[in-house]
Each structure stands twice: as structure tokens, then as C-alpha cells.
Amino acid sequence: MHGLSRKGLLVGSAALLLVGLATLGLRHNDEIKTIRWPVMGTIAQLSLRGETTRGEQIRPLVQKTYLRLDDLLSAWNPDSELCRLAASNCPDWVTCASSEVKPCYAAALKLAEQSDGAFNPRVGTKLRELGVSGGSSYSDFDLGAIAKGFAVDIAAQKIIQTCTNDLPDLLIDLGGNLRVVGSGVWRTGIRNPFDRQGPYVGVIALTNGESVATSGNYERFIERDGIRYSHILDGRTGEPTHGIAAVTVVTPAHYGALLADGLSTTLFVLGPQNGADFLTRHYPEALALWIPDSPTAPHIFASKEMARRLNYVVWPLDTLER
């Protein structure tokens, strides 16, 4: 997770722009206070509506959570638990890992199995061979596609445990992995992957502990002979994926940010048709949006429920009927 290039962040007066997504206040006069700091090789954000002082109280708890998980899950720190497990001859990661991170390993292995290897936590070696900056690490087993989402879930859990009677209206963001805490509604704008300053591709309102994650090839990529390749590889072939510019996934609270993160990577590899089939089969409550890598004729594929919930869509949209 360390060593990722910093993703562009812009703050407007009325709107807060996030990675691949922009959060907009529901009403124009909503007061949103945002705290932002670097961690885990990316940017963490806490956005609070209304009670503007509580962010500074919540932040240490969230930061402690991220640092702890980085110690356990980083593929970049040779002393992390993950790197120590990689160097050991533990036969089963879920058994050997600390109890607090077992669900992260379990979800990664399950996604790998369900997707027949399209999602593959062992692509790190290949990324390293290809020379992508994100691919040099101390472990051949890399949870980079899922660990930030997991960290967001744990942070949300800690906040809920700590603020039992007085839950803030909050949006957590870790490097483009967002989760709603509390009962508020957060409108998030999906960024144009071809023009990050351009109008949003669409807007979706999140509520009730929902999460959203975006995987894109526009911020991190491999360049070989002047050609750009995605930093997401097809885990079945080890080759860079092509054809997709960005995938956005929304998940309900019981799937969590962990699955939004893992699924955005998986669906990036699978593409719209196979991806929609995959969701129907394994994660029917997840919503997904694919933006093909065709800047001259931009269009969108959306799962049925995503198409229903997406507003202000600027490009032609194909609904994947399932």
C-alpha cells in the first residue's frame, strides 16, 4: 500500500472532491468539515456534516486503526505480519494471521476462488517484473486490492463502538474507499476518468452504512514503449488488463468497504458482461459501473440497480439486464 502515487484531491467551497468520487452536500447549506492526512501510502479523509468539532476527536482512533493494520498487512514493510507470513512456511494464511485480520485474508482467498483466479493476491510478483511502481514489495502475497477497504470497515466499527449513543454523520475515505457512518445521506459524484476536472459521469446517494470504491487505470499505470497498461493485472494470465478505464462498486453495510474494494478490482478484470454474471452469482446485492477505455466515445455499463440509482448521467448508459 505504500508507494502509491498520491491521488489527486481537490477541495471546492461547496463540494469536497474525493478519489474518483466527489462528495456533495445534500443541501447547499450543509456544512461539511473535512480532515485529511497521509497514511498507508495514500490519503485518509473524514468528512463530517453538522457537528464540525468531532472530527478531531475521532481522527486519532481512526489513525491508530490504520497504523495497526498497516503493521499487519503492508506488503512494503518487511517487518509486517504479512511479510513475515510470506517468509514463513505457514500452510494456511487464514490460520496463521492475527485474528483481527483473518477476515481480510479470507475475503481475498474467497474472491480468488469465486473468480477462478481473475482476482489473484499473488500478482505482485508479476507487477514487479513489469516494473510498475506499485509492484515492488517484500511479499509475493499482496492485499493491496482489498486492504484499504478492510481498514475502512474496521475504522467504522471502532467509531460505532466508541460513539454508541451519539453517532456522528460521517463519511470515511481511505484512498478512494468510502463508507458511510451514521444515518446521513452522502451524494458522491463519479469522476470522469478521461478528464478529472470535467463534469461528473453520474451521481449516486449513499446511506445506511453503504460503501463505494473505484478502481481506475488513470492514476497508476505501467508505461512500456509509450503504451499505458493498467496496474491491475488479469490474475489468470498475469497480463495487464485493457479495455476498462474505471469501475465503481457500491455495497450494502453487510458486504462492507472490504468487498467494495475487492470487487472493484475483480470486476475491472472481468469486464461488464462477465462481471455482471459474477455479481448475480456471488454478490447479488453489490452495484457496479464500468467505464470502457474509449475517451472518444465515452459510455457506461451499469448493473440494473446501479442504473436505477445513478443520477445526472452524462454519457450513454447500457444496463446489464440480470
- Residue in the block written with cell 508505461: 223
Q: How far is the CB of 262 from Mg ion (least distance, A)?
A: 6
The reply to whether 248 sits near ligand ADP by the rule CB under 6 A is: no
Q: Choose which of 45, 65, 265, 303 interacts with Mg ion (CB under 5 A).
A: 265
DSSP assignments along 93-104, one per residue: HHHHS-GGGHHH
Tell me, what DSSP letter sits at residue 23?
E
| End-to-end Cα, the chain, rounded Å | 35
Q: Choose which of 264, 279, 287, 306 interacts with Mg ion (CB under 5 A).
A: 264
Q: How far is the CB of 19 from ligand ADP (least distance, A)?
A: 8
Determine the Cα–Cα distance for residues 101 and 97; give it in Å rounded to an integer: 7
Tell me, what DSSP letter sits at residue 290?
E
Determine the Cα–Cα distance for residues 77 and 297; give it in Å rounded to an integer: 42
Q: Choose which of 261, 263, 279, 288 interacts with ligand ADP (CB under 6 A).
A: 261
Q: How far is the CB of 142 from ligand ADP (least distance, A)?
A: 5
Determine the Cα–Cα distance for residues 140 and 85; give it in Å rounded to an integer: 10
Helix, strand and coil percent figures for the chain, each rounded to 5: 35, 25, 40
Determine the Cα–Cα distance for residues 113 and 94; give it in Å rounded to an integer: 14
Stretch of 77-85, 157-165, 261-269, 314-322 lying at the interface with ligand ADP (CB under 6 A)? 261-269
Residue closer to ligand ADP by CB (options 156, 258) is: 258
**Nearest residue to Mg ion, scored by beta-carbon proximity:** 265
Q: Choose which of 76, 119, 283, 290 interacts with ligand ADP (CB under 6 A).
A: 119
Site for ligand ADP in 135-174 (CB under 6 A): 142, 144-145
Count of residues near ligand ADP by CB under 6 A = 22
**What is the pattern of x (binds ligand ADP, CB under 6 A) and - over residues 63-102?**
----------------------------------------
Q: Which of 93, 71, 122, 76 is nearest to 237 (CA)?
A: 122
Alpha carbon separation from 189 to 19, 22, 69, 151 (Å, rounded):
10, 4, 29, 23
Residue 134 interacts, among ligand ADP, Mg ion, none and using kind-specific CB cut-offs from 5 to 8 Å, with: ligand ADP
The reply to whether 265 sits near ligand ADP by the rule CB under 6 A is: yes
What amino acid is encoded at 180 in this protein? Answer: V
Determine the Cα–Cα distance for residues 134 and 136; give it in Å rounded to an integer: 6
Site for Mg ion in 89-128 (CB under 5 A): none
- Which residues are at the interface with Mg ion (CB under 5 A)? 145, 261, 264-265
- Which residues are at the interface with ligand ADP (CB under 6 A)? 119-121, 123-124, 127, 134, 142, 144-145, 175-176, 215, 220, 231-233, 235, 261, 264-265, 269
